[in-house]
Structure 1
Amino acid sequence: MAYFSVRNITKRYAAHTALSNVSIDVPEQSIFGLLGPNGAGKTSLIRIINQITGPDEGEVYFGNEKLAPHHVDRIGYLPEERGLYKKMKVGEQALYLAQLKGVSKADAMKKLKYWFEKFEIQAWWNKKVEELSKGMQQKVQFIVTIIHEPSLLIFDEPFSGFDPINVNLLKDEILNLRKNGATIIFSTHNMASVEELCDNIALINNSHKILEGSVKEIKKRFKTNTYSIDFDGFTGPVNPLLPGGFVLTEDKSDDDLRQVTVTLPATATQNELLNAFMPYVNIHAFREIIPTMNEIFIKTVHAAGNHSINS
């Protein structure tokens, strides 16, 4: 059984259906990407998981238990809309929020000192939140999200507003959290981060789940048997070199090298392509063209938009 699962969830607001019969399974100690365009239904699902609202139909399970109020202590939630008290001192607020989550004052002080030093914000302990940059505030909110060491973490656009150095810092910490046993639901529009971090994803569009699986399996599923070859020593047309059914999709030159991209028939192998070129060219590089998660996202959403009825 999945560590966390959503079963046939439907959520309606007046005449609008935000979620329609959505199910997902989040494996234990994994990073699960919850993806979709704006308005797809991701936020509605996150609010249901956090018990801010309830579903109209369906169930949510924490292991083999139905989601219940006592599970709140096992969940950490970093919302996209950050919410710290601007006039309150940073350390005072962090300590207050940690205690709200059940951490004793002594333990909270010890843990907060560790994290403030790790994130290099210890000098801001007695400053008001409004004196901090947006990135500094987000570091504080990240700390108070994880301070009670929840087993399930939900991060909604956690890198928004961060510079590249702090993005990498946060990515490392998210990976460490998984390594140390946490299960993470990660909602983002940044497909590069999905490729770096996520083990599994679900894609929601127009209230429906339209794609789910491991990142590795999904990328394999969307492969097109397309390869790129960098070479020199040959300036003539490429098409006469290609076996029947092989399709030249790109031919360009870069400095002293020529690069061609070829799509093979489903039954053909990369060795056949290499054998066709090797007698005539000096090959410098050969690679399979694997679709990015961004390309898969766009293709899947467009396909769903063209063939599904919006709720």
Structure 2
Amino acid sequence: MIGDRGLSDYSVEATGLTKYFGAFKAVDNVSLEVPTGSIYGVLGPNGAGKTTTLRMMLGIIDPDAGSSRLFGDQRPQAVRHRIGYLPEERGLYPGMKAREAIAFMGALRGLDWREGRRRAATFMTELGLERVIDEKIRKMSKGMAQMVQLIGSIVHAPDLIVLDEPFSGLDPVNQERLELLVKRERDRGATILFSTHVMAHAERLCDRIAIIARSQRRFEGTVDEARALLPMQVRYTPRDSRDAAGIAAILPATAERHGDAWHFAIEDADVEPLLSRITASGHGVTGLSITRPALHDAFVHIVRQVDAGFAADATCDAVQEALA
């Protein structure tokens, strides 16, 4: 049982991770804590530093500054048998059959070969992949082969599962299979850490997220906390739209009319006063929707702020150079 293995409150603790490739700073002072038993997403645009961060956490590459601990241990190699890792670069022996490929990957982590073959068949059957259990990798589609490699990464029942862009290249059916597998492993007690730039998966799966942009961590918290960075969006349709000036008077100054409906943003604290004004106004309600922005909207907002600040700094540097 995972609970008997002495896990701490955090399966992964990274402090001040920094990595240079030549003069380029790929990761800049990134700190993360991944709660044990949670699904944690590292989000960011392509090239933000997600993969480099994961590899430093796992001890695959050494940081130029900072440190990381897995299960409280600063020696990743000492706990490697408790980790399942799916790298961004996929790779399987094309001549192997799916069942043997999965068992082989499990054997590399100490799992008995026969038990690995048995678990492989169980996983693939439960995921609806039984028809390709004994098919060679070279005959599979890219998505099917990726699912085989994913199963091989977790067949030894690791405590920590690290998936680098696991949804990339999967069709919607296999994406759904992967989401199911992630949830089942979390329910088993495993900690899931994955990187992605597709917000829909993170919004459905993650207990907590970190957003990395321009090599730095720009946000850390729950999905709801990220969405709360932006105001709610309101669409209000009065029963009688003829008194446009009167309706505008009870709505925020930013409200815009589109046909019979009015659209505007509103903070949480202003919702109840708005409803009171609408009720008292006598204009009535034909339609009223108040929605929180999606994680995608929050992500774009954060990344654009970072890019705008980066561009402003670059402009200032250019001006200073010109004046020097």
TM-score normalised by length of structure 2:
0.85
Shift of 1:273: 2.0
Shift of 1:65: 2.2
Task: Specify the alignment match of 2:255 in structure 1.
Answer: 249
Aligned residue-pair number: 303
Shift of 1:81: 2.1
Residue 276 (str. 1) matches residue 277 (str. 2): yes
Pick aligned residue for 1:109 from 110, 117, 129 = 117
Q: Distance in 2 between matches of 1:150 and 1:96?
A: 15
Residue 234 (str. 1) matches residue 234 (str. 2): no
Distance 1:284 1:166, change over 3 A: farther
Moved more, 35-44 or 89-98: 89-98
The residue type paired with residue 276 of structure 2 is N
Q: Distance in 2 between matches of 1:163 and 1:224?
A: 33
Shift of 1:198: 0.9
Task: Specify the alignment match of 2:49 in structure 1.
Answer: 41
1:173 alignment partner, SS class? helix
CA RMSD of aligned residues (A): 2.3
Percent identity over the alignment is: 32
Residue 146 (str. 1) matches residue 154 (str. 2): yes
Residue 100 (str. 1) matches residue 101 (str. 2): no
Task: Specify the alignment match of 1:224 in structure 2.
Answer: 231
Shift of 1:126: 3.3
Output one character per residue of 1:261-297: Cα deviation in whole Å (capped at 9) or x when no partner: 2334x69632332233345444344332312111111
Q: Distance in 1 between matches of 2:289 and 2:34?
A: 33
Q: Distance in 2 between matches of 1:181 and 1:306?
A: 41
Q: Distance in 2 between matches of 1:116 and 1:273?
A: 53
Residue 164 (str. 1) matches residue 172 (str. 2): yes
Residue 288 (str. 1) matches residue 290 (str. 2): yes
The residue type paired with residue 109 of structure 2 is K
Superposition pairs of residues 63-82 of structure 1, within 5 angstroms: 63-82=71-90
Q: Distance in 2 between matches of 1:144 and 1:268?
A: 49
TM-score normalised by length of structure 1:
0.89
Is the contact between residue 29 and residue 184 of structure 1 (CA under 8 Å) also seen in structure 2? yes
Residue 91 (str. 1) matches residue 87 (str. 2): no
Distance 1:250 1:193, change over 3 A: farther
Structure 1, unaligned runs of 5 or more? none
Moved more, 30-39 or 43-52: 43-52
The residue type paired with residue 16 of structure 1 is F
Distance 1:101 1:63, change over 3 A: closer
Is the contact between residue 160 and residue 191 of structure 2 (CA under 8 Å) also seen in structure 1? yes
* Higher helix residue share: 2
Q: Distance in 1 between matches of 2:97 and 2:268?
A: 65
Task: Specify the alignment match of 2:305 in structure 1.
Answer: 303
Shift of 1:211: 1.1
